[in-house]
């Protein structure tokens, strides 16, 4: 008899929890994350701003500034490839974050 009561209680609690599941109480909350992309002007940016680019540390940022001071402003974004330590892969990762 106790066996049937236990089974009945299990079935009862299962049936009672179905509306909660149908209402979405067991689903994780959806969170919208918006990330603002910081655009860097390579002709005017300082070392800290340039270092915020993906794959560019302080050393490469200093190289960009030194190249800019020696050769003048960049005419195109692809001119960054002339800077030592800047490759096509880094340029591709940051194309949408670089401006003139």
With 60 as the cut, is the pLDDT of residue 36 above it?
A: yes
Distance CA 51, CA 40 (A): 10
Report pLDDT for 20. 56
Q: What is the pTM of this model?
A: 0.60
Hey, what domains does the chain have and what are their CATH numbers? Answer: 40-99 (1.10.150.280)
With 60 as the cut, is the pLDDT of residue 98 above it?
A: yes
Structure tokens at 96: 């949408």
Instruction: Please report which confidence band the pLDDT of residue 3 belongs to, taking 50, 70 and 90 as the band edges.
Output: confident
pLDDT digits (tens, 9 = 90+) for 12-21: 767 766 665 5
Instruction: Please report which confidence band the pLDDT of residue 35 belongs to, taking 50, 70 and 90 as the band edges.
Output: low
């Amino acid at each position: 008899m106790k066996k049937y009561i236990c089974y009945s209680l299990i079935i009862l609690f299962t049936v009672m929890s179905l509306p909660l599941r149908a209402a979405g109480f067991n689903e994780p909350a959806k969170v919208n994350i918006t990330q603002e992309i910081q655009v860097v002007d390579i002709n005017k940016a300082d070392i800290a701003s340039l270092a915020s680019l993906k794959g560019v540390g302080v050393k490469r940022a200093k190289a960009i500034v030194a190249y800019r001071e020696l050769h003048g402003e960049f005419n195109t974004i692809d001119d960054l490839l002339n800077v030592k330590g800047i490759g096509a892969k880094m340029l591709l990762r940051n194309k949408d974050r670089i401006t003139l």
